[in-house]
Amino acid sequence: MDSSGPKRPIRIDEVNDFYTYIATIDWTEKWLIALIMFHVTCFFLVIVTRRSGFIQAIIFITLLLSVYFAENLNELAAKHWQLFSTEQYFDSSGLFFSTVYSTPVLFNCLLLLFIWMSNLGAALSDMRQMKINARRKAEEKRKEKKED
């Protein structure tokens, strides 16, 4: 901490803009670094498993369920913040938890949806190409039969 004394937590009604709010967070806390590493790991897991729909579906459902229970997780963290944090970040409106947890998780879910739409587009393109090739083969067979 700086020489001006301990940083007091910012109240939700004191937030003027998002950058001010983010700047008040002590990003050197070990649990926040671990949370960031969790989000980075999830991101790379989504990228690495882009060819496995089943694994991605499990990741997607797990991430969405964690966002669904985010309010409960925020309340639990608010009750026990002294065990892992130096400051009480967990407000009743859930702004902090939504900022550091739910938003990156939903970003990963959105990335999964983009990957799935891309895979679907590629599959539709492949199917269209197979259909065109099947028509060509059928036309070639008809021409061969007519020539005989």
**pLDDT tens for residues 101-110?**
999 999 999 9
Give DSSP secondary structure letters for 60-126.
HHHHHHHHHTHHHHHHHHHHSGGGT-SS----TT-HHHIIIIIHHHHHHHHHHHHHHHHHHHHHHHH
The first and second tokens of residue 70, run together, are 């985010």
Q: Is 25:87 a contact under the CB 8 Å cutoff?
A: no
What is d(CA 110, CA 101) in angstroms, rounded to the nearest whole number?
A: 14
Per-residue pLDDT at 2: 46
What is d(CA 129, CA 97) in angstroms, rounded to the nearest whole number?
A: 47
pLDDT tens digits, one per residue of 56-102: 999 999 999 999 999 999 999 999 999 999 888 898 888 899 999 99
pLDDT tens digits, one per residue of 25-49: 889 999 999 999 999 999 999 999 9
What is d(CA 90, CA 83) in angstroms, rounded to the nearest whole number?
A: 13
What is d(CA 82, CA 128) in angstroms, rounded to the nearest whole number?
A: 59
- What residues contact 21, with CB distance under 8 A and at least 6 apart? 10, 15, 95, 99
Residue 2 or 40, more confident: 40
